Amino acid sequence: MTAARGRPRDPAVDTAILAAALDLFIEQGISAMSMEQIAKRAGVGKPTLYRRWSTKEALVADAIETLVTADVTWPTRDEIAATPTHQLVKRNIAAAARTAADPRFRALVAQIYGSAVTHPLLMQTYWTHYIQPRRELAVAMLRRAQADGRIAPDADLDVLVDMLAGGVTYRVLQPDPPTARQMKHYLEAAYRQVGLLP
Amino acid sequence: MTAARGRPRDPAVDTAILAAALDLFIEQGISAMSMEQIAKRAGVGKPTLYRRWSTKEALVADAIETLVTADVTWPTRDEIAATPTHQLVKRNIAAAARTAADPRFRALVAQIYGSAVTHPLLMQTYWTHYIQPRRELAVAMLRRAQADGRIAPDADLDVLVDMLAGGVTYRVLQPDPPTARQMKHYLEAAYRQVGLLP
């Protein structure tokens, strides 16, 4: 065994805590759940939670991210610079469709949006830690497609990101949620619309 | 006075009931509110409510609609057939921006999306009564722009409607909600993107 500085974190404990937080969030939403409930469901003490996460919102933001990125891998800035945009999009489209069509993703989106006004700290935390960095990658991809002449030179790229992300989450929340196959067609149409697929 | 068949409805009572239902929905969401609370806040008896609306969801769907369409007038099918699409869009854009930037609209969207999975009957009722007919008008406008050569012949018009409506509602729920002026620029960019504005 190697000597560790400080207390080494047991990844199995992290996994159990994140899974418990995700389940509780999907079932009850951020306002109704507590650090105590998460600890109980994960089978750990509250101090174990607080050593890792200082707030419920920070923990739930990390838990949300485990589901959102379980299947989907985002390209790095280097890949975006080196690879034609439509290849990057095609590489991810089946996984993105599977994630979006997952009933748990649907319930997750409803809980996130549902708390945006009554409990804004969760949206704020998730936005800063996870959405904002991904938006910057998305804008980098759109800028490259723009440089390649496939997006209008005066297009507002932030609006395009909203139309892509907003369109998908809105479609998912409709009364007839899409299958993974329908979602794949949907994503292809949406990416074509903004110029990320030919 | 003219003789009325049955009991004439007092429009002031309807207005009071709808306002009470809207306030409670924005404050508490559909699951936490009851017909009894609505009646109490509106200052009427529960039978008065039930004579007009058979379910809480039907009443709240009508209440939502009073806010969504307070300022915005949708074109009729005849207007869509007779008028260039970009004129119809321009006519409505300032009012649509004002509505979308209203903090009450933001809270309303959060409550509607937030209940889509845990209490699906509200989304289902509002969708059938109000969203679906408006989507058909939106698709008619897009079809006309498509016939005029401003939207690709193979574009999926339902996906475009989702990208417009989804983009706006997603933008509204973000941590830095837009002003009416910002929302107007946003709508102009979004309409241009899909081909509804030049």
pLDDT in tens, chain A (198 residues): 444 455 667 889 999 999 999 999 999 999 999 999 999 999 999 999 999 999 999 999 999 999 999 999 899 999 999 999 999 999 999 999 999 999 999 999 999 999 999 999 999 999 999 999 999 999 999 999 999 999 999 999 999 999 999 999 999 999 999 999 999 999 999 999 999 999
User: Does the CB of B43 have a partner CB in chain A at under 8 Å?
Assistant: no
Among the partner-chain residues A127, A167, A173, the one whose CB lies closest to the CB of B116 is A173
Q: For residue B103, what are the CA distances in angstroms to A122, B5, B33, B64, B172?
A: 18, 41, 20, 14, 9
Residue in A with minimal Cα distance to B156: A189
Nearest CA to B186 among A191, A137, A160, A144? A160
Whether B127 sits inside 8 A of A166 (CB atoms) is no
What confidence score (pLDDT) does residue B2 get?
45
Q: Are residues B52 and B77 in the same domain?
A: no
- Assess if residue A144 is contained within a domain: yes
Q: Are residues A120 and A190 in the same domain?
A: yes
- The CATH number of whichever domain residue A188 belongs to comes to 1.10.357.10
| pLDDT, position A108 | 97
How many distinct structural domains can be found in chain B? 2
Spatial contact of A35 and A21, defined as CB atoms under 8 Å apart: no
CB-neighbour burial class of residue B158 (10 A; exposed 0-12, middle 13-18, buried 19+): middle
Is residue B151, in this structure, part of any structural domain at all? yes
Contact A189/B at CB under 8 A: yes
B56 at interface of A, judged by CB pairs closer than 8 A: no
> Nearest by CB to A159, which of B118, B167, B174?
B167
Determine, yes or no, domain membership for B6: no
Whether B92 and B174 share a structural domain? yes
Q: Which domain holds residue A34?
A: 11-64
pLDDT in tens, A104-113: 999 999 999 9
In a domain, A4, yes or no: no
pLDDT tens for B32-72 read: 999 999 999 999 999 999 999 999 999 999 999 999 999 99
What is the pLDDT at residue B5?
A: 52
B34: domain CATH number is: 1.10.10.60
pLDDT attached to residue B4: 45
Task: Mutate one of A104, A113, A164 to test the B interface: name it (highest B CB count within 10 A).
Answer: A113
Domain termination residue (choose one: A22, A39, A64): A64
Question: Quick one: B60 and B95 in the same domain?
Answer: no
Kindly state whether residue A108 falls inside one of the protein's structural domains.
yes
Are A103 and A182 in the same domain? yes
Residues B108 and B154 in one domain: yes
Last residue of a domain, one of A64, A82, A101: A64
- End of a domain among A64, A80, A100? A64
**What is the pLDDT at residue A3?**
43
Q: Are residues A39 and A107 in the same domain?
A: no
For residue B1, tell me if it sits in a domain: no
For residue A179, the 8-state DSSP code is: P
Predicted-complex ipTM score: 0.93
- Examine the domain organization and report whether B33 and B117 are in the same domain: no
Is residue B42 within 8 Å of residue B33, measured between CB atoms?
Answer: no
Digitized pLDDT (tens) for each residue of chain B, 198 residues in all: 444 455 667 889 999 999 999 999 999 999 999 999 999 999 999 999 999 999 999 999 999 999 999 999 899 999 999 999 999 999 999 999 999 999 999 999 999 999 999 999 999 999 999 999 999 999 999 999 999 999 999 999 999 999 999 999 999 999 999 999 999 999 999 999 999 999
Residues B16, B47 share a domain: yes
Instruction: List Cβ neighbours of B103 (8 Å cut-off, separation of 6 or more).
Output: B177
User: Is A149 among the domain residues?
Assistant: yes
Whether A127 is in a domain gets the answer yes
Chain B residues touching residue A190 (CB < 8 angstroms): 159, 163
Same domain, A44 and A85: no
CB A35 within 8 A of CB A59: yes
Phi and psi torsions of B115, nearest 5°: -100, 0
Under an 8 A CB cutoff, do B123 and A173 touch? yes
**Quick one: B91 and B178 in the same domain?**
yes
Q: Do A123 and B173 make contact, defined as CB atoms within 8 angstroms?
A: yes
CA distance B10 to B14: 7
Q: Which amino acid is at A147?
A: A
Q: What angle do CA B120, B129, B81 make, to 5 degrees?
A: 135
B183 touches chain A (CB under 8 A): no
Residue B44, CA distances (Å) to A56, B10, B19 in order = 42, 12, 13
DSSP letters, chain B, are ----SSPPP-HHHHHHHHHHHHHHHHHH-TTT--HHHHHHHHTS-HHHHHHH-SSHHHHHHHHHHHHHTSS--PPPHHHHHHS-HHHHHHHHHHHHHHHHH-HHHHHHHHHHHHTTTTSHHHHHHHIIIIIHHHHHHHHHHHHHHHHTTSS-TT--HHHHHHHHHHHHHHHHHSSSPPPHHHHHHHHHHHHHHHTS--
Contact A170 B175 (CB under 8 A): no
Residues B52 and B108 both lie in one domain: no
